[in-house]
Structure 1
Amino acid sequence: MGSLQDQLSQIVYSTDQGRVTPEPEPEKIPQGDGVIRLRRETKGRKGKGVTVLSGFGVSSSQLKDIAKTLKKHCGVGGSVKEYTIEIQGDQREPLEKWLSAHGYRFKRTGG
């Protein structure tokens, strides 16, 4: 158990500088193996299927740009969740064509 000195060591407010804000942590980007994984999921979506792409290994802002391009290419909606791109519907065929045209290596996973 720490002493009282340890518990009070973090400055919350100082009259010299005002309120002290903690420094933001750098973004932790999951590193991929260079292969984009394509899979179709229906779990938790009331039977509606989505195509999930993972393994890009880029920052969240770059991932949002890629997702916007893919949604426009397929003509459907989608979202970015936890470093994966979800595209509405079974869009594996057009996504494979787009990925191969833009030099990405990809692999179908799941059923």
Structure 2
Amino acid sequence: MKPRPATGGLVYSTEAGRMCPTCRRPVVQCVCKQAAKAAAVGDGTVRVWRETKGRGGKAVTVVRGLALDGAALVKLAQELKAACGSGGTVKDGLIEVQGDHADKIVALLVQQGHAAKRAGG
């Protein structure tokens, strides 16, 4: 039988309720998720590639690595979709634009001051 890893922390307090086992603060004041979001910025390079896998053969241009918050990411996605004349979405920090617009999107991002490059084949 394997020994269970010790969480080493308080998980409930009668004063504050549920406690985060990582930062040992009340769950409503937990800073772990905020630190994880800040650390997920990447290496500072925006990568743009064309993807068809799992989409029934339809091409989608994917943009990853933008160091923007959610609202700014949605706004940039709207600008990119309008410039390409296409639809798309924002999922998990990625911008997806319908169609093969990788070269156009790289040019637009470089024009806006982002360090963007074409990735993939």
Q: Same fold (TM over 0.5)?
A: yes
Contact 2:106 2:118 in 1 (8 A): no
Does the residue aligned with 2:28 lie in a helix, a strand or coil? coil
Structure 1 segments of 4+ aligned residues over 3 angstroms from their partners: 6-12, 24-27
Question: Aligned Cα RMSD in Å?
Answer: 2.5
Q: Which has the higher contact order (CA 8 A, sep 6+)?
A: 1
Shift of 1:68: 0.8
CA deviation map 1:49-102 (0-9, x unaligned)? 100000011111111111011111111001001111000000012112211211
Instruction: Tell me the equivalent position of 1:102.
Output: 112
Count residues with an aligned counterpart: 100
> Cα 1:66–1:7, aligned 2, differ >3 Å: closer, same or farther?
closer
Instruction: Tell me the equivalent position of 1:38.
Output: 48
The gaps in structure 1 that reach 5 residues or longer are 13-21
Asked if 1:72 corresponds to 2:77, the answer is: no
| Identity across matched positions, percent | 40
Give the structure-1-normalised TM-score.
0.75
Which structure's CA Rg is the greater one? 1
> Cα 1:107–1:9, aligned 2, differ >3 Å: closer, same or farther?
same
Contact 2:103 2:118 in 1 (8 A): no
Q: Which amino acid aligns with 1:23?
A: V
Query: Which residue, 63, 81, 97 being the options, matches 2:73?
Result: 63
Give the structure-2-normalised TM-score.
0.70
Instruction: Tell me the equivalent position of 1:48.
Output: 58
The gaps in structure 2 that reach 5 residues or longer are 5-9, 19-26
CA deviation map 1:30-63 (0-9, x unaligned)? 1122211011111111111100000011111111
